[in-house]
């Protein structure tokens, strides 16, 4: 027996930019980004994939993109077609969408020195990022997230994916983008549900990592509920920063088992499926966080005052915190969801709970009776809210 | 405008083992490999994908695998099915093969802490590695290469791929395996063509990096042509070592432009397609190396003595060094192949030539007239061999 050892490190670096009206002729950011990325001697190509919802809400977007790139022809040439794809989770269930993008990469000669630029919500970025990652073993990918959720969380990280045979994110890779550009102007045209949805990931990361950020969220909850732009800008930068720190501080490609940013997500994933994605990811996450927060209280980790503070924050922000699928049949669905999550993790369960507001703790077992109690606690909480709407 | 900077490094480490009769009950290697890889507290699962050609040549393989894993049940459980796939390039053209593996990953609960083990030639490893890389954002992949080419080159590296719409390796990723195990017993049942084919990658790496290795190959050419096991074992270890060094010393995931291990490959890729993969990869590479070696001479970089030494080495090993597709229509196909390679690289050509035996040099232009001359040189060389078979 003879052995050769292989070991090496791969370095990744990218910027997450925050701007407004990215494609305005006067906004020099995107030109600068390409100037910093394209190697001397190359003329790169860029293929845009745009979320249909964004396209409809911004009818001049296509024209603006064309005009912007007219001035950059010595550096980067726009593909003759902008690909529009449906927004929302549906785009991740339809394998033909990935194929359309891969075919366009082929047709328009997008090579490993060229760029696939995706504009849209988290689902579109996940799907387009996957297509970019597998084409030519990875063409360069620039993400332009347009929702609160994708700007502060899913769009700035290193994962991409599509669903397969009813399993969420079954196919995907870990491949960092070469740049992320958050344009706050896109947030103005969001539906209320999408504005709100993204806030739950901020609450999540505050609850497990940063009590000061939680206090700030609690102070700003009315302004955020009323769609004030300034606290939202702060929220997104703060949450994005915590998220980026988590990635670089830990195990970016998740080779190990710890995934502490999954707080509240085991139940959320199950709820999304049970409701056929009628619940937005952020809405399901709010319920998942509420459930695991109540569970942390029932387990004796935190006080009921803490629980009620978290539930009140979500309620003021406009989230519903319960759903019949939680308690139906003695919480059968939740128990099944926990078993599936255990399998997803490779047989050994790791769940993040709260040992205090602002401090997560990992556990490897959950008590099914307490899960059922937590679900019923949320049911009672919501019922009491409906009975006394002044709360 | 505001910016958050992200940067991190991802560490990869894996062993390339050399053994004989891996699945013999007395061979403890595979058990040791799993003992070193499976985390405490886990019982992993293993799904095997086996090249149909290997399965046929080793009729007891399936039984041996089952028996071997019977003793490891506390550590790793074998999936109830061993998946057999066709060998050779065809397996990379058929998208249903990837789907079969992904479906089995789903059905047999192969998670991110479980193992997809592929046994076969380079094409099977490329395809199975791709399926492993995209399932659950990457399940752990162990490669057991069974040909000279895959044991010394393609099977030990960090790439995987399938073909798409007639484009070689159009879909794929860079994902290192968690272990590679080279079993020399598999080489004994190879056809002569496959035994020979893998040697051309050794000649390639010797010519551009290591004159001592080239001298050794030149000394051993008769023994290698006669299928002597010992020099082949040395060749594989030496070539694998040079290949692993190249990966870790440079740009493992090829973010930049330099790909010096592509010596001889631009013409080889074109020839494989033009012959509908009737030419094996290694056979096409031998012709590609011969062509670029002659070109290096015509360009004045090396002497004709050097050229004839290289051509003679290949000839003694049993390679044909010319093909009508090289010179047909004034080498039209080669000229087109060069243009395609330029596009594949993103517009800027980088070709490795020889400035001496054992020393590669990168150039960014090639002269079409000299390419045509080089093709005709090979035609004349082969014709003269046929006229004087004693050479």
Residues facing B46 on adjacent strands = B78, B115
Per domain, the residue ranges of chain A are 15-189, 192-387
Interval B79-109: pLDDT, tens: 999 999 999 989 999 999 999 999 999 999 9
CATH for B193-248+256-383 is 1.20.1090.10
Q: Does A17 touch chain B (CB under 8 A)?
A: yes
Residue A259: what pLDDT?
67
* Pairwise CA distance, residues A293 & A308, whole Å: 9
From A171, A253, A346, residue closest to B42, measured CB to CB: A346
| pLDDT tens, position by position, B24-77 | 999 999 999 999 999 987 899 999 999 999 999 999 999 999 999 999 999 999
pLDDT on residue A391: 46
The confidence score (pLDDT) of residue B260 equals 66
A89 pLDDT higher than 80: yes
pLDDT in tens, A26-61: 999 999 999 999 998 789 999 999 999 999 999 999
Please state the ipTM of this predicted complex.
0.94
What pLDDT digit, counting tens, does each position of A333-391 carry? 999 999 888 877 767 788 999 999 999 999 999 999 999 999 999 999 999 988 875 54
**pLDDT reading at B388 higher than 80:** no
Cα–Cα distance, B255 to B178 (Å, whole number): 22
The verdict on a CB contact (< 8 Å) between B347 and A138 is: no
**Architecture of the domain made up of A15-189:** 3-Layer(aba) Sandwich (3.40)
Model confidence over B22-35: pLDDT tens digits?
999 999 999 999 99
Structure tokens at B210: 């290591």
Interface of A with B in 98-157 (CB under 8 A): 102-103, 106, 109, 111-114, 133-138, 156
> A192-387 in CATH: which number?
1.20.1090.10
Task: Write the residue in B14, B106, B159 that is nearest to A6 by C-beta.
Answer: B14
Domain pair A15-189 / A192-387, same fold: no
C-beta of residue B115 within 8 angstroms of C-beta of residue B45: yes
B303 lies within 8 A of chain A by CB: no
Nearest-CA distance A11 → chain B (Å): 4
Please tell me which of the candidates B39, B133, B347 has its beta carbon nearest to residue A43. Answer: B347
Answer yes or no: is pLDDT of B391 > 60.
Answer: no
Cβ proximity of B302 and B357 under 8 Å: yes
Q: Report how far residue A152's alpha carbon sits from residue A156's, in angstroms, rounded to the nearest whole number.
A: 7
A137 and B164 within 8 Å at the Cβ level: the answer is no
Asked if A60 reaches chain B (Cβ–Cβ under 8 Å), the answer is no
Which of A60-74, A190-204, A257-271, B234-248 comes out lowest in average pLDDT? Answer: A257-271
């Amino acid at each position: 027996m003879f052995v050769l050892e292989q070991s090496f490190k791969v370095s990744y670096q990218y910027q997450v930019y925050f701007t407004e009206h990215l494609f305005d002729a006067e906004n020099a950011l995107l030109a600068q980004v390409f100037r910093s990325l394209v190697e001397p001697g190359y003329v790169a190509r860029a293929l845009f994939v745009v979320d249909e919802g964004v396209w409809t809400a911004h009818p001049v977007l296509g024209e603006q993109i064309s005009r912007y790139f007219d001035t950059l022809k010595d550096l980067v040439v726009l593909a003759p077609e902008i690909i529009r794809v449906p927004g929302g989770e549906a785009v991740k269930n339809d394998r033909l969408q990935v194929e359309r993008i891969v075919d366009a990469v082929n047709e328009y000669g997008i090579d490993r020195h060229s760029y696939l630029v995706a504009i849209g919500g988290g689902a579109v970025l996940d799907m387009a990022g996957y297509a970019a990652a597998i084409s030519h073993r990875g063409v360069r990918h620039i993400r332009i997230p347009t929702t609160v959720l994708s700007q502060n969380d899913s769009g700035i990280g290193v994962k991409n994916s599509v669903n397969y045979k009813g399993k969420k994110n079954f196919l995907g890779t870990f491949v960092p983008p070469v740049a992320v550009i958050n344009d706050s102007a896109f947030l103005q045209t969001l539906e209320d549900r999408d504005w709100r949805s993204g806030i739950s990931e901020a609450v999540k990361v505050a609850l497990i990592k940063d009590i000061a950020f939680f206090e700030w969220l609690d102070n700003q909850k009315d302004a955020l509920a009323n769609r004030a732009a300034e606290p939202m800008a702060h929220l997104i930068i703060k949450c994005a920063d915590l998220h980026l720190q988590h990635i670089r501080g830990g195990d970016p490609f998740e080779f190990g088992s710890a995934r502490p940013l999954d707080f509240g997500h085991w139940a959320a994933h199950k709820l999304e499926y049970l409701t056929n994605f009628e619940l937005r990811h952020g809405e399901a996450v709010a319920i998942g966080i509420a459930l695991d927060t109540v569970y942390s209280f029932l387990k004796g980790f935190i006080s009921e005052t803490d629980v009620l503070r978290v539930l009140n924050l979500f309620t003021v922000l406009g989230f519903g915190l319960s759903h019949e699928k939680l308690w139906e049949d003695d919480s059968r669905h939740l128990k099944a969801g926990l078993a599936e999550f255990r399998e997803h993790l490779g047989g050994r369960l790791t769940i993040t709970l709260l040992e205090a507001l602002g401090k997560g703790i990992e556990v490897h077992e959950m008590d099914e009776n307490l899960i059922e109690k937590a679900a019923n606690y949320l049911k009672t909480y919501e019922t009491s809210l409906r009975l006394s709407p002044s709360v």
